[in-house]
């Protein structure tokens, strides 16, 4: 399965791949990592580096090319993923959603793309424009925040 992915999505997906599998599936994961991780030309182009953080961990950083106005250009690359890998990544994204662990725009977009089959543009439009579910305020009768005449949950 071919997908257009930007660098941030690719690094995020590498982190979602299963860490351990049997011999056959280990080979599939290895190939997926190889396809997702940047090649030497991309490392040079985006100035990709692993930098130490104050807590002793490492963080991968890069620079996107900029247009004439100085705005970063988010470039996409076509990546081939085997169906098993696509399925594993979709399952992991579903799991993160179920556990309420979608904590970044890139995870939101990847969930929309892998689980719901949307494009990046559609996912970003949903993020900005999709109506939110209505929240119903639950106020107990003895709640001091409830004032006389409130219509919320008034019997």
pLDDT digits (tens, 9 = 90+) for 15-37: 999 887 788 888 889 999 999 99
pLDDT grade, residue 150 (50/70/90)? very low
Mean pLDDT of the region 128-146: 64
Question: Residue with structure tokens 């900005």?
Answer: 128
User: Is the pLDDT assigned to residue 135 strictly greater than 70?
Assistant: no
Report pLDDT for 141. Answer: 57
Q: List the one residue out of 79, 116, 74 whose CA is nearest residue 94.
A: 116
Read off the pLDDT of residues 36-60 as tens digits, 9 standing for 90 and up: 999 999 999 999 999 999 999 899 9
Q: Phi and psi for 7 in degrees, rounded to 5?
A: -60, -45
Dihedral of alpha carbons 25, 16, 1, 76, sign: negative
pLDDT by residue (tens digit) across 58-101?
A: 999 999 888 899 888 888 999 999 998 999 999 999 999 999 99
């Amino acid at each position: 399965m071919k997908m257009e992915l930007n660098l941030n999505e690719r690094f995020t997906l590498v982190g979602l791949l299963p860490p351990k599998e049997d011999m056959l599936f280990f080979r599939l994961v290895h190939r997926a990592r190889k396809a997702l991780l940047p090649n030497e030309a991309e490392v040079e182009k985006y100035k990709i580096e692993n930098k130490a953080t104050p807590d002793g961990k490492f963080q991968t950083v890069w620079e996107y090319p900029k247009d004439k106005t100085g705005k970063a250009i988010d470039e996409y690359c076509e990546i081939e993923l085997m169906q098993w890998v696509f399925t594993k990544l979709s399952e992991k994204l579903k799991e993160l959603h179920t556990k309420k662990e979608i904590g970044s725009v890139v995870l939101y977009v990847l969930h929309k793309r892998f689980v719901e089959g949307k494009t990046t543009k559609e996912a970003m439009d949903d993020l900005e424009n999709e109506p939110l579910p209505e929240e119903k305020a639950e106020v107990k009768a003895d709640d001091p925040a409830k004032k006389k005449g409130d219509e919320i949950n008034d019997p």
